[in-house]
Amino acid sequence: MKNLLLQSILLFLLLTSCSSVPSDVRIALEQAGINRQELEKVIEHYKTTGEIQKLKAAYFLIANMPGKYAEYYSCNEQAYEMFLRGKDANKRNNRVAYEDSLAEQIDMLKDLSGGWVPLMVKDIDVISSKYLIENIDLAFKVWKEPWACHFTFDEFCEYILPYRILHEPISDWRKYLYEKYSWVKDSLKNVSDTEELVLHLNDLIAKDFWTLDELDIPFVSVPLLEKAKAGGCDQRYVLMISLLRAMGVPAMMDYAPQHNNTFKDHKWVVYLDSLHHYRPCDAGRIRGKIFLKDNLRCAFPAGLVIPLADGFGSNVFRYTYAINRNSLAKKTKNKHALPPFFRSSCVKNVSDQYVFDMHPVIYDMPSELQLKDNEAVYLAVFGYGSHIREADYAQVKNNKVRFEHIGSGIVYLVCAYGHERLVPISYPILLRDSLGKTEILKPDTVRKQKMILTRKCKPSLLMQGFAESMIGGRFEGSDTPDFKHPETLFTIKEAPYSLTEVDINVMSSYRYVRYTSVHSGIFAAEIQFWGTDREGKAVMLEGTPIVHLGSDSIPNSEPENAFDNNIRTNFNAPSHSWVGLDLKSPQSITKVKYLPRNNFNVIEVGNKYELMYYNDRWVSLGIQTATNQYLEYDNAPTQALFLLRNLTQGKEERIFTYENGKQVWW
């Protein structure tokens, strides 16, 4: 009797406490228009069942629903279905050829549909009570799993409960993914270890996911994305976060406006481990692939390192479902007065969770600007070439701004925003190293310098990997095509980042010559063997390409590509492979030249280039047509920020300074 009375009292208290809807939920309901009744059904459902935590979860989803929307495209599902059919037919052995043909097909589809123009549909206008209730119930179901039950309600609401990550179409992804992958639970040795579950799920996606940024396919529903297992990094991360959440692992997406000192921004996946630590990872990719080192506070899961080089980047933001009430977007009535990234109120700065050299950047505003206190100005980073994008904001106080938690090793510009663009109001500011000292890159046009330039952009991490794979590679000669008794001409000891030439001093002549790599695969743009003609003039030797492939052969790689004197073609082969030439008769080798697979950012003979420096705007130092593997410019200013453009082809260009006779990339 006492228990019955106690239950009645608790139920009464529950119903009375839930009778008043929170103010932020009421605001959302008012914005729902005719769909309001669907949202109210969810609230009434959990009031009736007496499930107070589920009611609070419903309040969380509804209160933060304004501003959420899906992007629907007229032909994106057709594009994915097209890809899926071709992927099944071609598998991985013909991937290179298939990707090229697929790109052409999708470009045609894109042109026929007038481009990828989205129809934007607000969640609050269309979401059904049935969908929300099912989403909440399934989320609570996985919250009871051994690896999930210790997460707090706040962690659950933000990182397991939400039904969307970015702007993917609404779908029944949670039920679909749970039913398809719930068997993984039975394979776990330690059911309370979040990392073990994450690695199992990661491997299942990674083994068959094709990361194809160049195909430029917009979002589709998560179930279709899972079936196709293809797309850009954003799609891969959305799929992995959806899968982790469906299985009860809190997961989220983080974003750096500038990734290292490259022209790119970057996103990645973060999950909460069993100790409530944030664990960033390059989820959905094969473990241990090409990535270098760990310099974050929390260790990466085994083999899922985010690609890092010299530091991490400018700063880090997290995409959230919850509205950030302190965001600039919430403080600004006209969101179009803000740069695009800061128009969202569902991002928050999490730079302090990452260990890389972070410092404040303090800037005294020019007096002629006459900016008011609390007016926002922006810290921008350089993207492709001269393009800049917003990385942070600060509000003016006493004609000064202070940007907190800013990464070093990067050049910044302080900007205002008007007429839909960032307007620089400072000289470039270099935050050089861990000491946090800033340098103003104001060009000295009196003290001039001579510059010798070999590249227009720093090698990417992937290109660095290709260059480093050549270390230990050998050039060999032989009298027989099987190279049973080869003689070593030269062994590469340093990673080459441009076409590298080495003199060979051997007395013997060889009919057969080759380049071989034992410990790494071959990723070569150019392999050249040089000799002399009858007049003693240096000539590149020609012959019939010969090749031996390791056990994991790549049939679409043509050996001719290594010898065609074209840096834009490549020969790729697995470890224990070699590629060479049958010279038809014994030849004396006087030198070799070699260049790894690359992204064409070296100086190319015959291309036109323009060197510029920044002085309130980009100022040209003249146009040259390259006649060698380098360019020379006289009378360039010192203490300046430079940019070298290829006017003939390509788009990857990166800012640099010139120090001690070398280009230094930022």
- pLDDT band, residue 308 (cuts 50/70/90): very low
What whole-number distance in Å separates Cα of residue 221 and Cα of residue 321?
18
Q: Mean pLDDT throughout 601-628? A: 96
pLDDT, tens digit, for every residue of 587-601?
999 999 999 998 889
- pLDDT(570) > 70: yes
**Contact call for residues 63 and 28 (beta carbons, < 8 A):** yes
pLDDT, tens digit, for every residue of 245-275?
999 999 999 998 987 667 778 889 999 998 8
In the prediction, which pLDDT does 261 show? 61
pLDDT, tens digit, for every residue of 418-436?
999 999 999 999 998 777 7
pLDDT, tens digit, for every residue of 113-125?
777 788 999 999 9
Least confident segment among 98-107, 157-166, 505-514, 547-556: 547-556
Q: 214: helix, coil or strand?
A: helix
Looking at the chain, the whole-number percentage of residues with pLDDT higher than 70 is 88
Alpha-carbon dihedral 471, 475, 480, 486, rounded to 10 degrees: -70
- pLDDT(291) > 70: no
- pLDDT band, residue 300 (cuts 50/70/90): very low
In the prediction, which pLDDT does 90 show? 60
pLDDT, tens digit, for every residue of 323-337?
999 999 999 999 899
Looking at the chain, the whole-number percentage of residues with pLDDT higher than 90 is 63
Strands 230-231 and 210-211: parallel
- Sign of the CA dihedral 338, 339, 340, 341? negative
pLDDT, tens digit, for every residue of 339-363?
999 999 999 999 888 756 678 889 9
Q: Mean pLDDT throughout 534-557? A: 83
**Contact call for residues 180 and 83 (beta carbons, < 8 A):** no
| Whole-number average pLDDT of the chain | 88
What whole-number distance in Å separates Cα of residue 351 and Cα of residue 258?
13
pLDDT, tens digit, for every residue of 1-41?
445 555 555 555 555 444 589 999 999 999 999 999 999 99
- pLDDT(289) > 70: no
> In whole angstroms, how far apart are CA 18 and each of 133, 155, 164?
17, 22, 26
- pLDDT(143) > 90: yes
Question: Of 441, 450, 457, whose CA–CA distance to 640 is shortest?
Answer: 441
In the prediction, which pLDDT does 260 show? 63
Question: Of 322, 342, 315, whose CA–CA distance to 255 is shortest?
Answer: 315
What's the DSSP call for residue 22?
P
- pLDDT band, residue 310 (cuts 50/70/90): very low
- pLDDT(243) > 80: yes
State the residue for tokens 């400018």.
Answer: 314
Q: Sheet containing 474-478: which strands, arranged edge to edge?
A: 487-491, 474-478, 509-517, 577-588, 544-548
Q: Mean pLDDT throughout 554-567? A: 82
In the prediction, which pLDDT does 53 show? 98
